Structures are given as C-alpha cells and as structure tokens.
Chains A and B, each alone.
Chain A
Amino acid sequence: MASLRVLVGCKRVIDYAVKIRVRPDALGVVTDGVKHSMNPFDENAIEEAVRMKQKKVVKEIIAVSCGPTQSQETIRTALAMGADRGIHIEVPKGTEENLQPLAVAKIFAKLVEKEKPDIVILGKQAIDDDSNQTTQLLAGILEWPQGTMASVVEHSDGKLKITREVDGGLEDISVNLPAVISADLRLNEPRYATLPNIMKAKKKKIEKMSPEDLGVDVTPRLKVLKVVDPPVRAAGDKVPDVATLMDKLKERGHI
C-alpha cells in the first residue's frame, strides 16, 4: 500500500524566540552564537510526511536542507522525527543568507529530477526572510500542481485533497500527483523526537553535496542594501472631534 515517496525541505533559521539584533554593518542580523532551530513551518512539513508514513501512504521520507555545515543538525532533527534519510546541500558559512528562494527552488528541482519523489512538502515560509516563494517557484519550474498554506492534506487514489488557508477563509482543492505542498501552522502538531528515534537518527544516512554538484547557480538576484530596526513607536495625538482629525491629517500631508 505504501508507495509514495516524499521530499521535505527543512531550513535552519534563528529560533523564533530569540531577540533579533541588527548587525553593525546594517547588512543583516547577528547570527553568531545565536540559537538556531528548524523553521517552525518546516516542522509541520516533516510531521505531515511522518504521519503519511504512519498511515502507510508514504514509504520513504527524504529530508533536505540547504545551508552551512550546521544545517546537518536540522536534518538530524528531521531524521529523529521520522524521516528516513537526508540530503544536505552545503554552502560556505556566511553565504547562507544569500541563498534566495529562486536558487533553492532550482536546487529542489534538480533533486526532484534525481530522487523522483511523488510529493514535495515545504514549510510555507521561512521565519527569517518570510518570502513564501520557494514552493510556488518550484511548482512553476517543475510544472507540477501546488497546494500552498495547507492546513489539511488527505490522500486518495493518486490525488491529494488539500484545504488551504486563504485570506477569505478556507479553500478546498484537489491536486493530481506529483505535487508540491507548503505546510501551514495548523496542518498538525509536530511531535517531540523520542529517544529511540534520536538514537536511530545517528545511523541514518545524510548525503552531502554542493549546489555546483547539481549544476545550480545560486548567485543572488536580489541585493540587500540595508537592514534597520523597525522605527520606535512614537506617541499618538488625541483629537476632540473628526473635523480636527481631518485638519491634522491634511496638515501632515497624509490626505
């Protein structure tokens, strides 16, 4: 019964609870010595793949991470949650922040060519750049159907029934396999790795390669000019009536 194979992406990002500090050169944020974790939406992605495996819909889960050496830890976490093996696309330390969605989508497209999975599941966005692009770009490159912001995924007969969380509410779609999905927070509750699985994860294989090995050029197309803290919130003004409000807005050039 279990016949499908899944490729899942997991990105190593600054932990959501960390207080972010802008770097002195204003070109990024401080990452040295800062706690990093698996992107929360990617945890949902891995969890969904593991649940499909437990339901015997999926027979193999491959966890993929693109990043520096430490991305291996992120893959190990995915393996401890239940992925079968990992692929680490390694980039030199310090260049990971220049790895942009288009480059990552191209990398995944090459991996799809190589591994031939039936489903690719990614987190809907990474909490560092909040791009929400990789899934869509990948689907476009592959010309595969996509189900983004998924909060429910059900498999039946070679199709996936997906409920998407959209601005107007919930949208139900049906996609043929193979397909690309992006996981939303409410898709599932990610499990804690069990100790036996942490032990087993040690022995699971992680294949390492570089973007060059896949023939992918990861040169960034976007250049970061400046990173600044959001403006400190200034105190507001209280006005007695709407007429005064209109005057003030006109005065300050807002209308």
Chain B
Amino acid sequence: VPSPRALSTTLLPEDIELLRQTCWDFAENELKPIAGAVDRDSVYPGDAVKKMGEMGLMGMVAPEELGGAGMGYLAYAVAMEEISRGCATTGVVMSVNNSLYLGPLLMAGNQAQLEKWVAPYLDGDHVGCFCLSEPGNGSDAGAASTTAIDRGDKWELNGAKAWITNGYESEAAIVFATTDKAKKHKGISAFIVPKPTEGLSLGKKEDKLGIKGSSTCVINFDNCLIDKDCLLGELGQGFKIAMKTLDAGRIGVAGQALGIAQASLECAVAYSQQRHAFDQPISKMQTIQNKLADMECRIWAARLTNWHAAKLKDEGHNFTKEAAMAKLMASETATYCAHQAIQVLGGMGYVNDMPAERHYRDARITEIYEGTSEIQRLVIAGNLLKEMSM
C-alpha cells in the first residue's frame, strides 16, 4: 500500500526533503518487495545494500574527500526512517555501517586508517561491524573483559564479543578491548580488526525474533594478532569513542524504529479502510480511530524529537540527552504501533500474509540494542538533573 504522506517542506530543508522522497521511492520499489523474503528466509539483502552504496546511503556522513556523501545527521535520520520503513533488516545493515563502523573511524582515525578502512566501505559491497558487548556484559560496557596485549610488533586480542550485527558479512570490525585493567574503563582502547584474521572466529548465526536477514553472532578472539597501526585513537580512549559513537548511533536507530512504526501505522490504516464489520469499514469506529490517533501522535512526537537531536548535532551542540530521548521514544513507539497494528488487523495480524507480525518482531530489538531503554532513561535523567540543578 503506497503512502501518499505529503510532508510540508517547511519542516525539512529542500535538499533533505528531496533525499527523503528519493529514499521513499527506493524503499517502495526495491525494499518493500523483498522484505518478506528477507525475513522468512533470513537472507542478507546484498543487492539492495549494493544499490544503496551506489546512491551514497552506506556512507552518508563520511566526508566527500573519502568518497562519502558528506551529509549531516538530519539527512541520516530521515534516510534511516525511509529505508527501514521498507525493510527493517536493510535499515540495521545501513545503521551499523554508518554509525557504528564509520563513526569511530571518522572520530578517531588517522589519515592512513581513513583511506584504508573508510573509503572502501562506502559502496555497499564492503561493510563493517562494531564489537563492544560481550557474553558477560552489555549495558555494563566498562566491564569489557576482552584484552589487547602489546606484543612488540603486534597487538594480541583475546576474548569474545557478542551480538555483532553484520558479523558474517563484515570485512572489518571495530573492537574495544582492555589494554590496562587497572585503569578500569579508562584502560579500554579501540582497534580496527580486519576480517578474516587468524585467531578471529565467528560463532553460529543467532536465530533471532526479528531483523532476520541481518547476521548476528559471537566473534571469538584467540591470540588474534593485528598490526600495531590497527590501534584506533589513543590508548585508553576506547570507552569515550564507544560512548560518543553510541550517542550518534541512537539517532540512526531512532530512525529505524520510526520506519517500523510508520509501516505499522500504514498497514493498520489501509486494513481498517477495507475491512468491514457491522456494515461499515472499521476505520469509522471509535476504538479503531483511538488507536490510529495514538499511533500518529507517538510517531510524530518521536520523529520531531529525533530531528531535533539531529539538528543539535549538526549545529555542533551537545545532543546526548535529546538523542537518548529520541531513541527511547522511537523504540517504544515502534513496539506500541506494531502491537496496535496487529490488534487492528485482528486474526490477519497474526499471520504472515500481512506484514504486521513482521513489524512486531522487527520492532522489539529497537528497545534493546545501542543502549537499552533503561540505560536511555538513566542518560536522560542524568542530563536533565545537571541542566535543572541550581
């Protein structure tokens, strides 16, 4: 069902509105038709990702000198929503490459690293991944137990990283490991690890509830040796790089969640106008209208918060609280809308003839990764209290 959502261009600058329309067209024509199969057969959407690379969507914020689009985070937020509206799996592949892989490199990479690890990872043929969480710690990122030992001419990595998106398809990984345990989180450093590398092995692909076309796995490091020039940034800078990366990544994930929410709403609206009960389309009934209104309100509240966070970042201001708000609001809106969409569809919402059940399964992860909703609340409250304290 096409969405004739006509957005006023006073809300978005002209070029970003054009970008939005372009991504919307791409999602309608290239992603919507494959999303069902990507989910059902857990297939990586390689062709779509390659086309997105050609358009510049896989390296949106990378500077033009490196071959990126040189765009800001408002553009990124808008593009993420439209792509994810077509296919949430494709959205996560795009978001991990843009925010989590390219993010740290653009933040802390030297010229040689930018040329080797950024420039070739913009075309959709090569993607990267981000390794922070471990089997033993997720939210408690400071407790990373993966180690990196200085062996003179090489770094030696030992440990395991969990829940790595693009684990199988990626050819490079940003890995956070402890270089000085005594300094606790200030002893964590960031590394670029090429894949494949001897000593690096992949665990089995996780069998997930949703975003099934994206591979997720454990990555094991067993005396894994990497070159000295693979250190990213300064020693001990890793935790800071990770946190700053996640700050910005939240805007992308919020975009993804909004895409899923919007797709759910459209599914519910279309169905309610066609389904008849008690001699009228159910869209005329109050209980259904209440649900649609609530969905629309929450989507717009989250969307505007995300655009606000993105604009703050683009203008060089502190945006940590706003990005956390956007991610929290958007993810809870995605699960809400997907849930209500199934309710509007009734029995049809429970079978895979309609995409509502896929949106429900896809939405769930957005409340968990890149900072759980619980962590987002801590971040928001922490910043709020600082702002409002006398």
Contacts and interface: CB of A to CB of B under 8 A. Distances in A.
A201 B21 CA distance: 15
Contact of A195 (B4, B6, B21, B55): B55
B18 interface: yes
Interface stretch (A73-81, A112-120, A161-169, A226-234): A73-81
Given A73-B9, A201-B15, A193 B69 contact: no
Given A73-B18, A199-B69, A201-B15, A35 B5 contact: yes
Given A17-B4, A18-B4, A196 B69 contact: yes
B69 A36 contact: no
A17 B24 CA distance: 13
B141 to A, nearest CB: 32
Contacts of A201: 15, 18
B234 to A, nearest CB: 32
Nearest to B67: A196
Contacts of B71: 195, 199
A139 interface: no
Nearest to A16: B2
A76 B25 contact: no
B9 A195 contact: no
Contact of B4 (A35, A77, A192, A196): A35
Contacts of B2: 15, 17
Contacts of A22: none
Contacts of A17: 2, 4
Contact of A192 (B6, B15, B26): B26
A194 B56 contact: yes
A36 B18 CA distance: 12
Contact of B21 (A18, A19, A37, A199): A37
B60 interface: yes
Contact of B6 (A35, A76, A193, A194): A35
B34 interface: no
A170 interface: no
B25 A195 contact: no
A198 interface: yes
A195 B18 contact: no
Contacts of A193: 18, 22, 55
B143 interface: no
Interface in B1-43: 2, 4-6, 9, 14-15, 17-19, 21-22, 25-26
Given A76-B14, A194-B56, A195-B56, A34 B19 contact: no
Interface in B56-88: 56-57, 60, 64, 69-71, 75
B19 A77 contact: no
Most chain B CB within a 10 A radius of its CB, from A192, A201, A202: A192
Interface residues of A, number: 23
Nearest to B6: A35
B64 A194 contact: no
B54 interface: yes
B6 A36 contact: yes
A247 B232 CA distance: 89
Interface in A42-101: 72-73, 76-77, 80
A199 B6 contact: no
A240 interface: no
A193 B56 CA distance: 10
Contacts of B51: 192
A253 interface: no
Contacts of A35: 4-6
Contacts of A192: 22, 25-26, 51, 55
A33 interface: yes
A15 B4 contact: yes
Contacts of A199: 15, 69-71
Interface string B148-162: 000000000000000
A15 B69 CA distance: 28
A73 B19 CA distance: 11
A35 B71 CA distance: 25
A229 to B, nearest CB: 17
A195 B64 contact: no
Interface string A1-27: 000000000000001011100000000
B57 A195 contact: yes
B19 A195 contact: yes
Contacts of A194: 54-56
Interface in A190-211: 192-196, 198-199, 201-202
Interface string A124-159: 000000000000000000000000000000000000
4 A-B pairs with least C-beta separation: A195-B56, A195-B69, A17-B2, A35-B4
Interface of A: 15, 17-19, 33-37, 72-73, 76-77, 80, 192-196, 198-199, 201-202
9 contacts: A15-B2, A34-B4, A35-B5, A73-B14, A192-B25, A198-B15, A198-B19, A202-B14, A202-B15
